[in-house]
Amino acid sequence: MKEIFLLFAAVFIGSVSLAQNPRVKNDPNHDDRPLHFGFSLGINAMDFHLHSSQTGVDSAIVADVEHLQPGFHVHAISNLRLADNFDLRFTPGISFGGERQIGYREFRNTNLLIDSADLPVVVESNFLEFPLILKYKSKRMNNFRPYLMGAFNTRVDLAATKKTWGRSKKENNLVLLDPLDFYYEVGFGMDFYLQYFKLGIELKYSIGLTDVLKTRIRKKDEPGGYIYPPPEDAIYTSVIDRLNSRMFMISFHFE
């Protein structure tokens, strides 16, 4: 991910340098429209920030994300012009195909609690998301315009809604997530004004605000009203105190 940031920064700086020489402007009034629409495509990497529990410390078991499988996303774009340098954007869409692989290490080498046949524990997510974005744009330089953005995003994980604990069925897993989460997002990008449309390239980082680790499932017909992980599976959840989502996104906006 560090390499992606460096590459994007190099493209960003190079584009600004090229923009210093006067050129004919494409679609010079594009950003003067009070409202315009578009769509966005991109790739993402979903991640977790795991916090060890006291059970994990006592058992000498550490859980960590060992591998990320990238996914991709598609969004619609609605852009409201607030001022010369500010836009308010609503970009609902879906992110899917991404997964995180959680590994568990037993530092006492007992091999009694964690079954190596269960590792890594794969957690998949398919998000419906509803980001509300404030975009700050610099002064346009010929056919380039860098910008910064901040957002509040609501995501609903469709892949988490029907899963339960276990190994035997496709809809089972050893680590379950709550479907609803809220994020704040920061990022930057560059708008390129082409002959027929504006292309934006954006890098964004999302930070989940809530603990999405599911420790019980509400079931009215169960004793006590909840289902808990069975004893043979409980260790995979109990060694984790908190599980916060992270996401890196590279998007290509067409407006």
Residue 69 has pLDDT above 50, yes or no: yes
Could you tell me which of 139, 130, 147 has the C-alpha nearest to residue 206?
130
Please report the pLDDT score of residue 241 as a whole number: 95
pTM: 0.85
Q: What is the mean pLDDT of the chain?
A: 88
Look up residue 236 and give its DSSP letter: H
High-pLDDT (> 70) share of the chain, %: 89
Please report the pLDDT score of residue 248 as a whole number: 96
Could you tell me which of 170, 162, 91, 165 has the C-alpha nearest to residue 128?
91
Beta bridge partners of 213: 177
Residue 123 has pLDDT above 60, yes or no: yes
Residue 170 has pLDDT above 80, yes or no: no
238: helix, coil or strand? helix
Q: Which helix (H) or strand (E) holds 254?
A: strand 240-254
Alpha carbons 45 and 23: distance in angstroms, whole number: 37
Beta bridge partners of 181: 155
Residue 237 has pLDDT above 60, yes or no: yes
Q: What fold is seen in the domain 2-254?
A: Porin (2.40.160)
Please report the pLDDT score of residue 19 as a whole number: 46
Least confident of 56-60, 130-134, 238-242: 56-60
Please report the pLDDT score of residue 22 as a whole number: 56
More confident residue, 171 or 216: 216
Least confident of 26-30, 82-86, 147-151: 26-30
Q: Which helix (H) or strand (E) holds 2?
A: helix 2-18
Please report the pLDDT score of residue 171 as a whole number: 81
Please report the pLDDT score of residue 5 as a whole number: 47
Q: What DSSP assignment string belongs to 76-121? A: EEEEEE-SSSEEEEE--EEEEEEEEEEEEEETT---SS--GGGPSE
Please report the pLDDT score of residue 113 as a whole number: 76
Domain ranges of the chain: 2-254
Look up residue 56 and give its DSSP letter: H
Beta bridge partners of 145: 191
pLDDT in tens, 4-14: 444 455 555 55
Alpha carbons 206 and 48: distance in angstroms, whole number: 11
Please report the pLDDT score of residue 102 as a whole number: 95
How would residue 29 be classed by pLDDT, with cut points 50, 70 and 90?
A: confident
Look up residue 159 and give its DSSP letter: G
Please report the pLDDT score of residue 26 as a whole number: 87
Beta bridge partners of 150: 134, 186
